[in-house]
Amino acid sequence: MTLAVALACGSFGPVVSGGLSSLITGLLPAGGPCDRAYALDAAVYNAASVAGPAVAGAAAAVASPQ
């Protein structure tokens, strides 16, 4: 079960890290809106990479490994 969850969650990594970011240029006009979208994308990705382990640690502390 744990291996299946790890494989399922890990399969979304490439989509989240690069696949969705590459759509910004096709969805928004060049210039200000596109630049702001790239900045927001980077900020959210970085915040998730910092907060993600903290959330996982808190979840592990609340839900006993047993």
**Would you write out the chain's pLDDT as a tens digit for each of its 66 residues?**
788 888 887 777 776 667 777 788 888 888 888 899 889 888 888 888 889 889 888 988 888 766
Buried b (16+ CB within 10 A) or exposed e, 32-66: eeeeebeeeeeeeeeeeeeeeeeeeeeeeeeeeee
Dihedral class, residue 31 (left if φ above 0, else alpha if ψ from -120 to 50, else beta): left
Does the pTM exceed 0.85? no
